[in-house]
Structures are given as structure tokens and as C-alpha cells.
């Protein structure tokens, strides 16, 4: 449920938009064009949903100037309807965190530095030499190990584990089940057996980062794993030891990033992709979903790998031909040489 209602004119002011229609209309929630009800505000950012614009029951719609043509209902006109929707929804639904103090079941070590307005919910465990700055909110069942620092107004959802020596910046959001600072996969082979390599680095996370549910970020083997300011991570991502992710990069679910890879700033990595270890990715690189990055990427742009989706019978035929490519290439080269000799 939304925590506030607002006049359309006030809602438009939140996003510096222009109002078409009745400025006094009350906005009480958000909804899709197809399913919105009276009082909801909706948006059109994908032309696929254009047909619903004429039948929507929304009290107002967020549109750009091109989509506004022919629409006579209440509207907020902006350049980027989806971004405006995100900002409006945040205003309508995001309740300010009011720290609720420290629950009686919280276990605190003796040497802990906790600011005045911090919220620690039931069954939280806090280790030695932990610093929690003003406005930090830690939900039920979280474990914060020794020598951890958490910046102001950062929020941890239930059952987050933050291992020793980790540093987390300000205004960061960490969703349920996240593990930060677990050991990286460091092993060395000795006489047919695997020897564990101590993981003595840590994890440093910047400001305004968001980390999705059940994502894991391994501590560095020697140096640190670093997640820079503004990075957005989806659910179920594996970030290995000594990875570095540049500012304002967004990574979708189920991506795996191998050790010591360096990802640039403002990159976008599609779901299910894999990135090989020790590779370097330039700024402003977009990797499409289910790609496998097997080498460094030194120029910005859009990159893809893998075979396109197709019916199974066609795929089997194509797979058989893939095995013949090397032999075909040799035959073509031979024929080219013969032609040149004539």
C-alpha cells in the first residue's frame, strides 16, 4: 500500500513534468496500463503497450511528447516515462526508515561502536570492533562479523551475513540471504590433492550500491574485492575473489564473474552471463543475456555470444555443421590456393 497520496500537480513536480488535464486529481497508487484502477498513475515506456492507453482506467499516465499525441486524459509529460515512474513510485511507497532501537535478543560484542539512531532487529549478532553509522537498519537474523564498518543509512534485509573486515558505504541496500566476504575459491594442487589457499583480503563496497537476494561476494585472496559507488546487482550473482566492478554498472541475475576480473564503469551485463577470470572490461560495455566473455573487452559497445534460440530439429542440424567448420575452412583455403595458381 502507498504511504501517501498527492495531487497530480505535486506528483508532476517530483519529476519536473508538465501536466495535461486536471491538476487537482488525487494519485493514490501506481498500476500498469492494463490493470490500473481509479486513483492510480501509470506510464507508457514500451510501444508494445500502446493499445492499452485508450482503455486504461488509470487516473493519469506518464508519457513522453510523442506518445501524448491523440491522448486526451490526465497526463504527466516527461522525456523518460520509465525513470519518472520509478521516482514517483519511490515517493508514493518508500517509507522513511524510523530506527526502532535494539531488540532484546540482539547479541553484541563488548567492543562495538553504534550510532544513536540505529535499528537492530531480533536475533542480530554483532561482532567485535564493528562500526554502525547513523541511520543503519539491520533486519532480523543478520550476522555481522568482527571489524566490519557499515555506512550511514545503509539497510540490511533479514538473514544477511557480513564476514570479517568488510567495509560497506552509505545508503546501500542489501537484500535477504546475501553473503559478503566469504572465502574465495582459492586452491592449489599438491600431489593429487587440493590445498586451500588462505583468503586474507576483504570486500569494500561503495555508496548507493544495491545487492540482490542470495548474491555472494567473495573476499579477496590477498588484496580486496571492490564494488564501487552506484553499482546495482540483481539476485543470485556470484562475484569471485579480487573482482572489481566500476561505478554505476548494473548486473542482472545469475551472472558469474570469475576471480580478478575487472569490470568498467557504466556497464550492463545481461542475466546468466559468465565472465572469465583476470579479464578486463572497458567502460560502457553492454553484454547481452547468456553470453560467455572469454577475453578482455577493450572497447565500449554491445557484445553477444552463444547460438540463437531455434527449434530443436534445426539446432541439431546446426550443431552437426559446427563440427564440420574446421574441415570446410581447410577445403575452402585449398580451393582458393588452386584458383590463385591458375
Residue pair 220/201 in contact by the 8 Å Cβ criterion: yes
**DSSP letter string over 190-235?**
ETTEEEEPP----EEE-TT-EE-TT-EEEPPSSS-EEE-TT-EE-S
Q: Which residues pair with 205 in a beta bridge?
A: 168, 227
Contacts of 327 (CB under 8 A, 6+ apart): none
* Sign of the alpha-carbon dihedral angle for 94, 96, 102, 107: positive
Question: How far apart (Å, rounded) are the C-alpha atoms in residues 222 and 239?
Answer: 16
Coil, helix or strand for 332? helix
Residue pair 247/270 in contact by the 8 Å Cβ criterion: no
The answer to whether residue 103 is catalytic is no
Widest CA span in the chain: 92
Pairing between β-strand 18-20 and β-strand 75-77 as defined by DSSP bridges: antiparallel
Question: How far apart (Å, rounded) are the C-alpha atoms in residues 8 and 229?
Answer: 33
Residue pair 184/242 in contact by the 8 Å Cβ criterion: yes
Choosing from 103, 228, 241, 284, the catalytic residue is 241
Residue pair 283/265 in contact by the 8 Å Cβ criterion: yes
Residue pair 254/271 in contact by the 8 Å Cβ criterion: yes
For residue 19, the tally of other CB atoms under 10 A from its CB is 18
Over the range 132-164, which residues count as b (16 or more CB within 10 Å of their CB) and which as e? bbebbbbbebbbbbebbbbbbbbbbbbbbbbbb
Kindly list the catalytic residues: 241
Amino acid at each position: 500500500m502507498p504511504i501517501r497520496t498527492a495531487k497530480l500537480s505535486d506528483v508532476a513536480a517530483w519529476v519536473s513534468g508538465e501536466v495535461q488535464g486536471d491538476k487537482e486529481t488525487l494519485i493514490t497508487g501506481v498500476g500498469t496500463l492494463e490493470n490500473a484502477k481509479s486513483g492510480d498513475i501509470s506510464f507508457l515506456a514500451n510501444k508494445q503497450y500502446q493499445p492499452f492507453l485508450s482503455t486504461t482506467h488509470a487516473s493519469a499516465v506518464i508519457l513522453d511528447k510523442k506518445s501524448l499525441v491523440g491522448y486526451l486524459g490526465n497526463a504527466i509529460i516527461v522525456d523518460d516515462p520509465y525513470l519518472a515512474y520509478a521516482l514517483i513510485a519511490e515517493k508514493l511507497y518508500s517509507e522513511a526508515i524510523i530506527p526502532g532501537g535494539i531488540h532484546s535478543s540482539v547479541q553484541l560484542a563488548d567492543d562495538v561502536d553504534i550510532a544513536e539512531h540505529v535499528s537492530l532487529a531480533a536475533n542480530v549478532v554483532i561482532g567485535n570492533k564493528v562500526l554502525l553509522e547513523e541511520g543503519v537498519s539491520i533486519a532480523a537474523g543478520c550476522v555481522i562479523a568482527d571489524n566490519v564498518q557499515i555506512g550511514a543509512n545503509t539497510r540490511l534485509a533479514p538473514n544477511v551475513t557480513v564476514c570479517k573486515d568488510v567495509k560497506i558505504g552509505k545508503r546501500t541496500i542489501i537484500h535477504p540471504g546475501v553473503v559478503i566476504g566469504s572465502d574465495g575459491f582459492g586452491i592449489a594442487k599438491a600431489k593429487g590433492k587440493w590445498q586451500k589457499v588462505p583468503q586474507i583480503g576483504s570486500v569494500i563496497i561503495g555508496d548507493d550500491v544495491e545487492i540482490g537476494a542470495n548474491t555472494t561476494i567473495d573476499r579477496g585472496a590477498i588484496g580486496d574485492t571492490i564494488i564501487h559507488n552506484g553499482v546495482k546487482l540483481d539476485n543470485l550473482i556470484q562475484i569471485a575473489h579480487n573482482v572489481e566492478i566500476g561505478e554505476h554498472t548494473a548486473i542482472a541475475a545469475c551472472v558469474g564473474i570469475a576471480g580478478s576480473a575487472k569490470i568498467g564503469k557504466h556497464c550492463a551485463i545481461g542475466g546468466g552471463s559468465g565472465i572469465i577470470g583476470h579479464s578486463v572490461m572497458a567502460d560502457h560495455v553492454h553484454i547481452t543475456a547468456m553470453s560467455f566473455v572469454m577475453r578482455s573487452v577493450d572497447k565500449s559497445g554491445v557484445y553477444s555470444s552463444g547460438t540463437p534460440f531455434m527449434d530443436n530439429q534445426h539446432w541439431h542440424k546446426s550443431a552437426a555443421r559446427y563440427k564440420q567448420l574446421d574441415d570446410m575452412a581447410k577445403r575452402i583455403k585449398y580451393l582458393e590456393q588452386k584458383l590463385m595458381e591458375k
